[in-house]
Amino acid sequence: MRAAVTDLLAPVNRGAAAAAGVARTLPGARGVALTFDDGPHPEGTPAMLELLARHGARATFFVVGEQVRRRPALLARVADEGHLVALHCDRHRLQLRLAPEVVSEDLRRGAAAIEDAIGARAQWHRAPYGIYSPAGLRAVREAGLAPLLWSRWGKDWRRLTTPARIVARATRALLPGDVILLHDADFYSARGSHRRTAAALEIMLMELAGRKLATVLPAEKVASAHTG
């Protein structure tokens, strides 16, 4: 299965993402978007929620269907506390290795898990590893989902990183409209990585406050676009 070069480069190349029609930022937003992939996690997700609540911040959680089915009440807590729930996948697999019908079924199952847990449909999607196959991107859009990647990342999944490195990477040259990628789970990354992310998040939220950068949700930008 061959993928378009633009789809492969989209996570790290602004021009490739634009060519594929995949957003990496929220143009016109007055703050930055904090996003977390791979949960919900029994330890990582509550830790992030507590920090976000303490600082009055909001975030988008791109969740995995197989994890949602294991702990639907935790996902309901995410939504109840004012955060946005979005779809990552049902099983964390690279789209390039999946047949088109398998990707479509993965989207269906993941979306159903979210709707069963919180009673609402997800509107946003991010592919595992940030890589869309051409068929996968078509399936996402046919499912009524909007793809969103990121413009800043902490690379917090790495085994040998530190909270300070995560913060430095994620906030370097940060501007309003940037989308920051973090992870609230270690299911698909280095064991215990969510603990370093939590430590980094505490520092990051203080730094954002010092820069007077609010945290925003993608849905807010969609709403403002419709209201002009």
Among 125, 183, 186, 194, the active-site one is: 183
Burial 155-173 (b: 16+ CB within 10 A, else e): ebbeeebebebbbebbbee
Q: Which amino acid, one-letter code, is at 100?
A: P
For 3-50, how does the pLDDT look when each residue is reduced to its tens digit (9 = 90+)?
Answer: 454 555 556 567 777 778 899 999 999 999 999 999 999 999 999 999
C-alpha distances (whole Å) from 195 to each of 6, 43, 204, 209 are: 34, 9, 14, 22
| pLDDT given at position 8 | 52
For 91-115, how does the pLDDT look when each residue is reduced to its tens digit (9 = 90+)?
Answer: 999 999 999 999 999 999 999 999 9
Task: Identify whether 41 is a catalytic site residue.
Answer: no
Fold of 7-227: TIM Barrel (3.20.20)
What is the domain partition of the chain in residue ranges?
Answer: 7-227
Task: Identify whether 183 is a catalytic site residue.
Answer: yes
Among 37, 38, 90, 106, the active-site one is: 37
For 133-187, how does the pLDDT look when each residue is reduced to its tens digit (9 = 90+)?
Answer: 999 999 999 999 999 999 999 999 999 999 999 999 999 999 999 999 999 999 9
Nearest to 62 by CA among 170, 220, 166, 218: 218
Which helix (H) or strand (E) covers residue 178, if one does? Answer: none
| pLDDT given at position 123 | 97
Q: What are phi and psi of 54, to 5 degrees?
A: -60, -35
* Residue whose pair of structure tokens reads 């449909």 in the numeric block: 121
